[in-house]
Amino acid sequence: MRACLLRATAAIETNPLEYADVAMPQPKGDEVLVRVRACGVCRTDLHVIEGELPPRKSPVVPGHQVVGLIEKQGENARRFAVGSRVGIAWLRQTDGTCEYCRSGAENLCDNPVFTGYSVDGGYAEYIVAPQDFVYAIPEGFHDEQAAPLLCAGIIGFRSLRLSGVKAGARLGFYGFGAAAHVAIQVARHWGVEVHASTRDARHQKLALELGAAWAGSTFDEPPKKLDAAIVFAPAGEIVPAALKALKKGGTLVLGGIHMSPIPSFDYQLLYQERVIRSVANNTRKDGEDFLRVAAEIPIRTHVQIFPLREANCALNALKNDAIPGAAVLRVGE
Ligand SMILES: [Zn+2]
Ligand SMILES: [Zn+2]
């Protein structure tokens, strides 16, 4: 089969993904084999490719927002019928036995397996995954539109949950890429007012089109104090600026897997019971709850589609803020 293979970490400007022929995976035990139709491009893929996350497998096929059809199943896989449309996300497997898994926090598992990082991902024609970590994709979404729901969508949703916002709250977004453009639709559906701070004018425009009450540059202070804010951009220098925009008792959620160092800041920015917390992965319940809500609203993702062989091109565009919404690779005909 064809796949985009990363042999060694490198800057994306050097186009390190090789469009290559690789052996097709075979489903064993409780695994399903999925024929990939679309795979979303996530900033985490960029962190894997550029080595900001230490390599776990090499060579590796990136990609963890996979939508496709079940083609074949292992001998113990019966959850889905062959032909079902399913999604595969970042958290591919957990041990099920550590203290985190046992307490309902499988997103913090001590022995996790990640799609497109510790095992091969969805920048490929086929992928295998254990059936219990596969999601049914609701009808009503095209394959390409569903793909960004699987990480951008789910992580944005978990970030919203951890921000604690309710109807009537004022919420700030720092960075307005794939995750934020989905999260704003959920927040608006909940009756939350959204203020978007992002350096790119195209992203500010998209935020306003999607119902933001205000959009400005990253370091412009929003016109009103915020009940909570979510930082989606991987830039640590945003943290003090975002804290400054929060009300007393406000929560700042850091939504990324990687962030440049956070500069030191005055304790006064944190005092008055402001809270900073990160988001790590998601539970399967987050994913299932989100996909249900996404179909109810319904979420409309803005996608820019690239053929699989042009994954380097999609990632370069992502790095340059040139994607309004989400980049998605189309796989197969
Ligand atoms: Zn565990
Ligand atoms: Zn992701």
ω into residue 25 within 30 of 0, thus cis?
no
Summarize pLDDT for 236-267 with one digit per residue, the tens: 999 999 999 999 999 999 999 999 999 999 99
Task: Find the mean pLDDT for residues 89-106.
Answer: 98
**Of 52, 70, 43, residue with least CA distance to 10:** 52
Ligand 2 (ion): residues with CB under 5 Å are: 42, 44, 151
Q: Cα of 95 to ligand 1 centre, how many Å? A: 4
Residue 78 in this model has a pLDDT that exceeds 90: yes
Is the predicted pLDDT of residue 15 greater than 80, yes or no? yes
With a cut of 80, say whether residue 167 has pLDDT above it: yes
Ligand closest to the CA atom of residue 156 = 2
Q: Which ligand is nearest to the Cα of residue 255, counting in written order?
A: 2
d(CA 318, CA 178): 10
For residues 233 and 239, what is the distance between their CA atoms, to the nearest angstrom? 10
The DSSP symbol for 30 reads T
- Tokens representing residue 218 in the block: 């990253």
The pLDDT tens digits for 17-73 are 999 999 999 999 999 999 999 999 999 999 999 999 999 999 999 999 999 999 999
Long-range contacts of 264-269 (CB under 8 A, 24+ apart): 265/239, 265/240, 269/240, 269/243, 269/244
* Ligand number, closest to the Cα atom of 44: 2
Q: What mean pLDDT is predicted for residues 191-196? A: 98
Q: How far is the CA of 283 from the centre of ligand 1 (A)?
A: 11
Tell me, in angstroms, the distance from the centre of ligand 2 to residue 68's CA: 17
AA letter at 309: R
Local confidence band at 332 (pLDDT 50, 70, 90 cut-offs): confident
Paired strand residues for 271: none
* Cα 110 to averaged position of ligand 2 atoms, centre (Å): 19
Q: Ligand 2 center to residue 34 CA distance, Å?
A: 19
Indicate the SS3 state at residue 268: helix
Measured in Å, residue 32 CA sits from the centre of ligand 1 at 22
Q: State how far the Cα of 223 lies from the Cα of 193, in Å rounded to an integer.
A: 12
CA of 112 to the centre of ligand 1 (A): 7
Q: What is the DSSP string of 70-125?
A: EEEE-TT--SS-TT-EEEE-SEEE--S-SHHHHTT-GGG-SS-EEBTTTB--SSBS
Distance CA 139, CA 131 (A): 19
Closest ligand, as measured to the CA of 147? 2
Whether the per-residue pLDDT at 312 is higher than 90: the answer is yes
Neighbour count for residue 168 (Cβ, 10 Å) = 10
Distance from C-alpha of 119 to C-alpha of 231, rounded to nearest angstrom: 28
* Axis-axis angle for helices 201-209, 178-189 (nearest 10): 20
In the structure encoding, which two tokens stand for residue 250, read together?
Answer: 């406000």
- Collapse the DSSP code of 293 into the 3-class scheme (helix H, G, I; strand E, B; otherwise coil) and give the result: helix
| Euclidean distance between CA atoms 36 and 127, whole angstroms | 7
Which letter does DSSP use for residue 138 in this model?
A: P
Map tokens 């943290």 to a residue: 239
Provide the pLDDT confidence category of residue 6 given band limits of 50, 70 and 90.
Answer: very high
- Whether the CA torsion 291, 293, 299, 301 is positive or negative: it is negative
Residue 265, SS3 per DSSP: coil
In angstroms, the CA 70 to CA 310 distance is 25
Q: Is the pTM of this model over 0.85?
A: yes
Are 39 and 329 within 8 A, CB to CB?
yes
Please calculate the CA angle 287-320-223 and round it to the nearest 5 degrees. Answer: 75
Choose among 258, 303, 312: nearest CA to 280: 258
Going from the Cα of 106 to the center of ligand 1, the distance in angstroms, rounded, reads 6
